[in-house]
Amino acid sequence: MTVRRFHAEIGTAIGTGAIGAAAVIGATELGYGWEESGPQSGYFPFYVGLILIAASLWNLVAAFVKHRRPALDDAGIEAPFLDGERLARLGGFLAAMLAFVVATLTLGIYVGATGYIAWNTWRKGGYRVPVALAIGLGFAAALYIIFEVIFLMPLPKGPIEPLLGIY
Amino acid sequence: MNHLKTGAIAALALAAALPASAEWAPERPQEFVVASGAGGGTDNFARTIQAILTRDKLVDAPIVVLNKGAGSGAEAFLYAKQNAADPNKVIFGTNNVYLLPHIAKLAYKAEDLQPVAALAVDEFVVWVKADAPYQTVLDLVEAAKAEPGKIPFGGSQSKDTDETLVALIEQTTGADFKYVPFNGGGEVGVQLAGGHVAANVNNPNENLGQWQAGAVRPLCVFSPTRMAESAPIHDGKGWQDIPTCKEQGLAIDSYQMPRTVWLPAGVPEEAVAFYRDALKKVAESQDWKDYLAKTSQTGAYLTGEELSKFIADSETRTVEVFKAEGWSKE
Amino acid sequence: MGNFDLLMHGFGVAITPMHLLLMVVGVLLGLVVGVLPGLGAPNGVSLLIPLTFTLDPTSAIILLSSMYWGALFGGSTTSILFNIPGEPSSVATTFDGYPMARSGQSTRALTLAFMSAGIGALLGVIVITLLAGWASNFALRFGAPEYFAVYFLAFAAFIGMGSASPVKTVVALATGLLLASVGMDNVTGEVRLTFGFSDLLGGISFLVVVIGLFGIGELLATVQEGLSFRGVSSRIDLRDVLRTIAELPRYWATSVRSGLVGIWMGITPGGPTAASFMSYGIARQASRKGQAFGTGRPEGIIAPETADHSAGTCAMLPMLALGVPSSATAAVMMGGLMIWGLTPGPMLFATKPDFVWGLIASMYVSNVIGVILVLLTVPMFAALLRIPFSIIGPMIVAICFVGGYTVSNASFDLWLVLLFGVVGYLFTRLDYPLAPLVLAMVLGHKAENAFHQSMILSDGSLSVFFSNTLVSSIMALGLALLILPKLLHLGGRLRRRQPVE
C-alpha cells in the first residue's frame, strides 16, 4: 500500500478546511459583527475561519489540477508520499505512542513509560528483556525523582503507585 | 486493589458515622490548587499560606502548589468538581468561585465546592492620574455625566470584579464610563500612569508603586471604614488618609474582594475542621500579618456561619449588578 | 556618571561568596528546568519562591533571576539537539540550530547559541545600566494602539518574506490565529470556540502545540526514514568550542542588529519569544542568500538567541520600574517582589538601590557564569546523540508527553501533543511552513486584544493607529517591512529579466 502525495495534500486540505469551518460555526454562536465599540468576540475567528476555508479550497483545487495534468507537475504530486515499508514503520511507531498515551491515562505515566521504553528497546533495539526492563524502570525512576521529588510537580498516576505508597 | 477500595469505603462510612470524633490529618501530599496564574494575587496568597503551614509544621505532609488559572479560575473549580470528596486538594480563590457560574456557561456550580475560610479582603480604590482635575470621586462621576461614554475607565479583564464595580458606580450614579479591559492590575496601573485611561479601580498594592512615584493619586476606597494605618507613601499621605467613597458622597457602602480557601464538596467534616483550624493559626501568625501589611490587604478571618453569610450577601448584591448589566446567564 | 557609581556599588553587593554560590545554584537549576520541556522557567521559579522567604530580597532575586538565565540557556539545548524547544522563546532556534546539529555540527550549533545568548544578555544589561530611567518613561507612552503596532511590526518582520507557497503560509497563519483564540477572551469576557469542552476552557497551550509540532513531528520524520538520527557522528572536542568562538566576530552585524531588536522588544511589550522570531525574520531578509535559511546557517542561530536573551534581560526593566511583567517568568518574580515587601515602580530605583543595582550587577556576573557552565555541558549534551535511537527515541517521546502534561497538569494535553505531532509531520512533509503558525499563536491573541482595546478607546475608528508620532512610525515601519522586500524582489526580477528580452 502506498500513500501518494496527492492523497496527503487532499487529506490535509480537508483537515485545515474543517478547522476553518469549525471556527466559523463557533464564531456565529458568539456574534461576528462590528459594534460601535469595535469587533464582537466572534469577528476575528469568523473571518480568519473564512480565509482558512478559502485557502484550503485553493490547495485542494491545486492538488486536483496537478493530479489531472501530471506533466506540468513540478512538486511531484504523484510521487509516493509514504511507500509500504515507511508506512508500516510510521504506523508501528504511532501505534506504540498511542498505546503509551492510553496506558498513561489509565495506569499512570510511570507504568506507561516503563512499558513503552522497555518494549521499544526490546523490539526495536534488540536488547534482552531484562536489560530493556531495567532501562524502562530506570527512566521512570529518573522521572519520579526529577519531577516529583526535586521540582514537586505531580505526574499522572494510576492504581499501582498507591500500593507502593506513592501518591 | 480491591482490598484498598473496600477499606477506603469502610473508612469513609466510618467517618460519616462518627462525626467529629475521628481526627483527620493529611497523610498524602496536599495539592494547593490556585485559581490564577503564577505570580497573581491568588498565587501569592496560596504560596504564603503554604510557606507558613510548612514552616510552622501545621501540615506534616508535603504541599504541592498547582496553578490552574484558565478561564478566570474556572479551571481550578472544575478540577475540584472532578475530585469531589478528595480532602487532599485545597482550592484557593476569590469571589470568582461563586460569581463565575453566573456570567459564563461552565460545567461546575458553586455547590461543587465547600467553603473553608476567608483570610483577607482586598480593597478597591478609585485612582486617577496625579495631574487630573478630579479631587473627589464625585468630580469624576460628574465629568462622566457631562460627556457620557467618553471617559475611559481602565480595569482588569471583562465582567470581572473591576468591571462589576464600574458598573455598580454607573448604576448608583447614572454616570456612563467607557470601560476598557486589560489583562491585569499591573498593566492597568501603567495605562493610568501613562495617561491612556482616566481612572482605574486597582487594589492598593497594584498601584502602590505608581503612587509612591506621584504618577497617580487615590480618590476614595470602597470600604466601610478607612484602611489600616501605614507609613506615609507619597506627599505625607498613607493608606489611612484615603477617604471612603461613602464619605465622599458615593452611595456604595463597601466593595471588597475576599481571599478564600475551599475544599471539594463531599469531603469529611473532619478535613474541613482540620483546615479551618490550621488556617486560623496561619491568620494569627506574624508572617501572615507581615504579608497583609506588605500587600496592603485587610485581615478578615471568616469561617462557618459568618463565611456563608458573607458569601450569600456578596453573591446576591453582585448578581443584581450582573442582571442590570445583562451579563447574567440565567 | 551616577549610574556607573551605582553599578559599582551594585557589584559590591552582588559579589559575595554567598551570592556567587546562589548564582551557580540558580543557573544549574535553571539549566535542568530549561532542558526539560514543559517544566519551564515560570514553574521552576515559582517553586523556589517559598524558599526565598528566609533570604533577604537581594539574595532571593539573584537566585531567581539566575535560574531564569539558566532556563533560557537550557531551552536552547533541546531545541538544537532534538528539535524540541524547552522554552517558548527558543522555538526560533530550532529553525537553523537543529539542521546544523543534524549535519554533525552539534558542538558548533550549541556553542554559537550559548555565546550569542551571552552576548545578547550583556547587550541587554548594558542598556539597562545606561538607560534605566529613560526606558521606563518611554514604556509609559505605550497604550493599546502602540501595543498593537509593536505586535504588527513583529508579524511584519517575520512574515515579510518566506520561501513557502503563499497560500500554504496563509493556511498556517490562519490555523495559528484560530488556535490562539480558543478559550476565555479577556477583552470581551466570552468563552470562545470551546464547543462546550471544559478541557478547552484554558485555550490551547502554545507550548503543548510546539512540543507536538516540532518534537513529535520531527521524531515521526526520523522514524519513517528508518530509525536513526541523521548524522550521529558528531565529534566532541573542546577545540570545536574554541574554533566556533573564534568565528563569532564575523557575524558581528547580525549580533548587534539582533541585540537591538531584542532590546526594543524587551522594553516594549513584545517579549522574548516575539523578539526571537522578529530577529530571525530580519536576519533572513538582510542576508543575501535569503533562501538558504533553515538549513543550518550560523546567522539563523545567532539572531534568535541574541534577541531572546537581550529581550529577556531588558524585560526586567518594565518589571522593576513599572510593575508590568513581559514574560510569564517575570510575572512570577514580580509576585516574589510583592511577598518580600518590595513594590515594583519608578521609586524602587530610588528607595532600594542595593536591591536594584545588586540585581543589575548580578546579571553581568551570572550571565558570564551561565555561559561558562553551559559551555562545559556541551560535550555532555552532544554525547546524548550517540545513544542508540531505539533507546533515546522513545525517551524523547516520553519526555515530550511529560512536558506537554506538566504545562498545565492536564491529561487532555497528552492527546493534543499526539495530534499536533501528526500535524507537524504532515505540514513539514507537504511544505506548509510551521513558523507562521507558531508566531500567530504567540502574538495572535495579544494583537487581537490590543486591537480591540484600541477600538474601544477610539470608538471604532481605525485612525487611532496613526494618531501620534510614536504609533504612526511603528506602523509605518511595519508596513515597510511587509511591502519593501516584495518590491525589491520584484524589482530585482524585472532588472534581471530585461537583458534576456
Most confident region among B68-77, B211-220, C136-145, C181-190 by mean pLDDT: B211-220
Cα C353 from Cα C330, distance rounded (Å): 20
Q: Nearest C-alpha of chain C: how many angstroms from A77? A: 10
Residues A116 and A91 in one domain: yes
Architecture of domain B24-121+257-325: 3-Layer(aba) Sandwich (3.40)
Nearest to A55 among C170, C225, C418 (CB): C170
**CB contacts < 8 A (B, C):** 162
Q: Is B184 exposed, middle or buried (0-12, 13-18, 19+ CB in 10 A)?
A: buried
Residues A106 and A43 in one domain: no
Q: Nearest C-alpha of chain C: how many angstroms from B197? A: 9
Q: What average pLDDT does this structure show over B115-119? A: 96
Cα C436 from Cα C397, distance rounded (Å): 25
Q: What is the DSSP letter of A108?
A: B
B125-254 CATH pick, 3.40.190.10, 3.40.50.720, 1.10.3720.10, 1.10.540.10: 3.40.190.10
pLDDT tens-digit readout, C422-436: 999 999 999 999 989
Domain ranges of chain B: 24-121+257-325, 125-254
The whole-number pLDDT of residue C290 equals 54
End-to-end Cα distance, chain B? 44
Domain end call among A82, A102, A119? A82
Residues A72 and A95 in one domain: no
Report whether B80 contacts B262 (CB < 8 A): yes
Judged against a pLDDT cut of 60, whether residue C231 lies above it is answered with no
Report whether C314 contacts C262 (CB < 8 A): yes
Plot region of A50 (φ>0 → left; ψ -120 to 50 → alpha; else → beta): alpha
Q: What average pLDDT does this structure show over B87-91? A: 95
Judged against a pLDDT cut of 90, whether residue C361 lies above it is answered with yes
Cα C63 from Cα B115, distance rounded (Å): 36
Cα A82 from Cα C430, distance rounded (Å): 12
pLDDT tens-digit readout, C365-423: 999 999 999 888 877 877 777 788 888 889 999 999 999 998 888 899 999 999 999 99
User: Is there a contact between B294 and C335 if contact means CB atoms under 8 Å apart?
Assistant: no
B270 interface with C at CB cutoff 8 Å: no
Q: What average pLDDT does this structure show over B127-142? A: 96
Domain end call among A51, A82, A113? A82
pLDDT tens-digit readout, B270-327: 999 999 999 999 999 999 999 999 889 999 999 999 999 999 999 999 999 999 998 8
Q: Nearest C-alpha of chain A: how many angstroms from C472? A: 20
Domain end call among A30, A52, A82? A82
**Residue A83 in 3-state DSSP?**
coil
Mean pLDDT score of chain C, rounded to an integer?
Answer: 87
Report whether C446 contacts C184 (CB < 8 A): no
Q: What average pLDDT does this structure show over C480-500? A: 72
Judged against a pLDDT cut of 70, whether residue A56 lies above it is answered with yes
The residue whose grid cell reads 482616566 is: B198
3-state helix, strand, coil in chain B (%, to 5): 45, 20, 35
Judged against a pLDDT cut of 50, whether residue A4 lies above it is answered with yes
As for how many domains chain A has, the answer is 2
Q: Which chain C residues touch B71 with a CB distance below 8 Å?
A: 183-184, 191, 201-202
pLDDT tens-digit readout, C450-484: 999 999 999 888 999 999 999 999 999 999 988 88
Residues A102 and A64 in one domain: no
B31 interface with A at CB cutoff 8 Å: yes
The whole-number pLDDT of residue B18 equals 42
In this chain, the answer to whether the domains covering B24-121+257-325 and B125-254 adopt an identical fold is yes
Judged against a pLDDT cut of 60, whether residue C46 lies above it is answered with yes
Residues A39 and A92 in one domain: no
Nearest to C335 among B44, B74, B105 (CB): B44
Residues A43 and A76 in one domain: yes
Q: Which residue has the higher pLDDT, A26 or B185?
A: A26
pLDDT tens-digit readout, B209-266: 899 999 999 999 999 999 998 889 999 999 999 999 999 999 998 999 999 999 999 9
Residues 6+ apart with CB under 8 A from B291: B44, B48, B297, C339
Q: What is the DSSP letter of B244?
A: B
Residues A36 and A90 in one domain: no
Report whether B188 contacts B206 (CB < 8 A): yes
Residues A103 and A144 in one domain: yes
Count Cβ atoms below 10 Å from residue C24 Cβ, excluding itself.
Answer: 17
pLDDT tens-digit readout, C234-291: 555 678 888 899 999 999 999 999 999 999 998 887 888 899 999 998 898 888 765 5
User: Is there a contact between C174 and A20 if contact means CB atoms under 8 Å apart?
Assistant: yes
Torsion of CA C475, C477, C482, C488, to 10 degrees: 150
Give how far Cα B325 sits from Cα of B176, B225, B318, C469, C492, Å. 12, 28, 11, 38, 59
The whole-number pLDDT of residue C389 equals 83
Nearest to B209 among C143, C345, C453 (CB): C345
Q: Which chains touch B (3 or more CB pairs under 8 A)?
A: A, C
Residue-wise over B33-67: b if at least 16 C-beta within 10 A, else e?
A: bbbbbbbbbbbbbbbbbbbbbeeeebbeeebbbbb
Q: What average pLDDT does this structure show over B157-162? A: 90
Give how far Cα C103 sits from Cα of C82, C91, C321, C409, C432, Å. 13, 19, 45, 36, 23
Region of poorest pLDDT, from A76-85, A92-101, B188-197: A76-85
Cα C462 from Cα C428, distance rounded (Å): 37
**For residue A90, what are the domain limits?**
84-163
Q: Is C403 exposed, middle or buried (0-12, 13-18, 19+ CB in 10 A)?
A: buried
Angle C404-C406-C407 (CA atoms, 0-180°, nearest 5)? 70
Residues A109 and A69 in one domain: no
The whole-number pLDDT of residue C2 equals 74
User: Is there a contact between B64 and A153 if contact means CB atoms under 8 Å apart?
Assistant: yes
ipTM score of the complex?
Answer: 0.94
Q: What average pLDDT does this structure show over C328-353? A: 85
Q: Nearest C-alpha of chain B: how many angstroms from A40? A: 13
Q: Which residue of B has its CA nearest to C51?
A: B51
Q: Nearest C-alpha of chain A: how many angstroms from B32? A: 12
**Residue B30 in 3-state DSSP?**
strand
Cα A94 from Cα A70, distance rounded (Å): 32
Nearest to B29 among A37, A163, A167 (CB): A167
C427 interface with A at CB cutoff 8 Å: yes
Judged against a pLDDT cut of 90, whether residue A61 lies above it is answered with yes
Residues A71 and A90 in one domain: no
Cα C51 from Cα C63, distance rounded (Å): 10
Give how far Cα B217 sits from Cα of A159, B113, B124, B170, B193, Å. 57, 39, 13, 21, 10
